[in-house]
Structure formats: structure tokens, C-alpha cells
Amino acid sequence: MRIGELARRTGCDVETVRYYEKEGLMAVPGRDAAGYRLYATRHLEDLQFIRHCRSLGMRLAEIKLLLDFRHDPQQDCDRVNTLLDAQIVRVEEQRRAMHTLLEQLHLLRAECASRQQVAECGIMRNLNQAAKGERCLCHE
Amino acid sequence: MRIGELARRTGCDVETVRYYEKEGLMAVPGRDAAGYRLYATRHLEDLQFIRHCRSLGMRLAEIKLLLDFRHDPQQDCDRVNTLLDAQIVRVEEQRRAMHTLLEQLHLLRAECASRQQVAECGIMRNLNQAAKGERCLCHE
DNA sequence: TGGAAAGCCTATAGTTGCTACAGGGTCAAT
DNA sequence: ATTGACCCTGTAGCAACTATAGGCTTTCCA
């Protein structure tokens, strides 16, 4: 199949497929007489593997490692576990950060209920206090 | 004060200060005889304002708007509220995404308890199933 | 007073994971 | 024969920095 069909079947952009090839994630495909890329089932599955890992928030460098494991299943899977653990820690940290952020934003938002002049706005007052190094609501 | 002191006092990188100037967030400072940038309290406070907003996850384009409001407090604060609301929605969405991701990652991680060959590893088995379009643990 | 280290300058490239052109060739249908 | 869809390469753009390279100026210490 050509790149368009591959892209359609994986829900991936054509440009993205070429990008993955350039980055060394996708195996270099064959070419037809016109120079068009020709893909086989192997490529389709690798691409789906990549997209699935991306949907789990993994980085391309990590996916490259996982692809190596996928293509050489004799290896010890210890590093797969380590990689996943690191990913979990990273996402956990991000979620915590988002949570803190939300609390701060809600506190700040509550400072201005109605439409008024900026000079009277509780949100801007808080932000301006922070700018002066004073205490503000959102960063205790 | 020169750029180094400004950076030290705000916990900001020197390069970042110059970057903000180039992006039009920081007012262009004066220069001394040697061409070094000279900053006043105004710049210090603006920079602290910027960093504070960044710590709330705001984008530079949004901060630019907030700086306008800060410098012209006669305006109606309606757009400040709207901006904050949008920011809250965005962060909320991100947090939800992180949460889903974590669930999936934990499910996947539980598939491999011990160190073994990749061929036997439950994690890799799941990822490979997903690659074939089959059902996998982490995406229902 | 000399020389080195620290600080500042500009300009440019790299990071991540794509996305969007520009400018061109190929293929299928009308 | 020509239109439109598809494919090619190569390059630039996004966001918000970070990190050089190459070259001044200032400051400190002997």
C-alpha cells in the first residue's frame, strides 16, 4: 500500500509517517517505479504500535527502545518495566502539578465576580501584588 | 541594575529575559555606555508578573494581554475573567487526560511483575496486540 | 598595572513532535 | 488532453525556552 492508505488506516497524518521514517522509527519502505513509498503489514503494525505508545504519552526516544524490544523479543524485559515506571512517575508528577495549578486558578478566579474596571478587579490586584513580591492569594 | 542582577532577583535565566524582550513582553530597557541593558523597578515588577503568570501555566500571548491590562487599569476587566476561565478549562482538560493516562499505564504495568524475556512480558504482549488492532488492556 | 575571571553583547541553532507550505512529478478518470 | 488527487523533497514554523559561538567590558586580585 502507498503512504496515503497507510495513513488512512492508522488515523495518522501522511506527513507524520514521513517524519517517523526520518526519525528512524519506521523502517525504510520499498519504492515503486515512480518513487512512491510502498508499505507492507509490518509497517502498518509498527506504525500502530508507535501511535498506541504515543497515546500513552511516551516520547519518541522511548518508543524507539520499545520497538527494538518488539523486534528482538529475546531480550530481558527489565528495561521495559523501568521505562514504564519512569513514565508513570512523570505523568503522576504532571497530574499533581495540574491539580495544584487548578487550585491556584480557582482561588484567583473567585477574586473577581463581576465586570468592572481592571483597577478594581481582584484578579489583577492579586497578580499585581505578586509582581511586587507581596503575598498573593494563588501562591499563599 | 544590569541583566544579571535582574535575573538573579527574579530567579529567571538571563537568556529568558532577553527572550522576553525580543518577544515584546518586557519593555525595552535603557543602555549604559558599554551597551549593557539597564533595568529599573518597573522592569523587575513586570518580569515578576510574567513569571508569576507563567507559574499559573499561562501562555506568553495571554500574559501579553494581561500586561496590557496591568499598564492600563481603566479598561473593563471582563476579558481578564474570560481569559482565566479559558485557562481553567484548559488545565482541567489536561488533568483529566493525565488521569486517564495514569489508569492506562497502571493497568499495563501490572501485566509484568518479574524480570523475564520480552517474549513473555505481559506489557510487550499488550502493546503488540494493540499494534495488530486487537484489544489491549490499556485501551479497554 | 596586568591579567584573568566574570559578566555582557549579538546572532544562530537546538529542543519536541509534529504541521504546513512551496514547487514539482505521477496517476486515474473524464 | 486535462483536471484533480496523490506522491515526492526540502524547508520553515510552532512554543518557550536553552545553549552554544565569538567577541566586547568590567571587576577583582596580586
> CA-to-CA distance for B117 and A85, rounded, in angstroms?
18
Asked if residues A43 and A29 have their Cβ atoms less than 8 Å apart, the reply is: yes
Q: What's CA A67's distance to the chain center, in Å?
A: 18
B63 CA from C15 C1′ (Å): 23
Interface check A82 vs B, CB under 8 A: no
| Mean of pLDDT values over B29-45 | 97
- Residue B92 binned pLDDT confidence (cut-offs 50, 70, 90): very high
Q: Report the length, in residues, of chain A.
A: 140
> CA-to-CA distance for A136 and A94, rounded, in angstroms?
23
Q: What's CA A79's distance to the chain center, in Å?
A: 21
DSSP state of B25: S
B30 φ, ψ (degrees, to nearest 5) = -70, 175
> CA-to-CA distance for B45 and B80, rounded, in angstroms?
19
pTM for the complete prediction? 0.91
Residue A107's pLDDT is what?
93
Query: pLDDT under 70 in chain A at which residues?
Result: 140
Of A111, A123, A77, the C-alpha closest to B109 is A77
- Residue B113 binned pLDDT confidence (cut-offs 50, 70, 90): confident
- Bigger pLDDT: A138 vs B128: B128
Q: What is the pLDDT of residues A83-97, one digit of tens each?
A: 999 999 999 999 999
- At B30, the amino acid letter reads G
In Å, what is the CA distance from B66 to each residue of B22, B52, B79, B84?
A: 18, 12, 9, 10
Q: Positive or negative CA dihedral for A36, A40, A45, A46?
A: negative
Q: Which residue has the cell 499488550?
A: B126
> CA-to-CA distance for A62 and A92, rounded, in angstroms?
18
Please give the mean pLDDT across all residues of chain B: 94
Strand nucleotide closest to residue B15 (CA to C1'):
D18
Asked if residues A64 and A24 have their Cβ atoms less than 8 Å apart, the reply is: yes
Angle at B87 between CA B82 and CA B91, to 5 degrees: 150
* Residue whose CA is minimally distant from D6 C1': A4
> CA-to-CA distance for B62 and B87, rounded, in angstroms?
10
Identify the bridge partners of residue A117 per DSSP, sorted by sequence position.
Answer: B76
**Contact across the interface for B127 and A84, Cβ inside 8 Å:** no
Chain D bases having any atom below 7 Å from a protein CB: 6-10, 15-20, 25-26
Interface check B82 vs A, CB under 8 A: no
Say whether B116 sits in a helix, a strand or coil: coil
- Residue B38 binned pLDDT confidence (cut-offs 50, 70, 90): very high
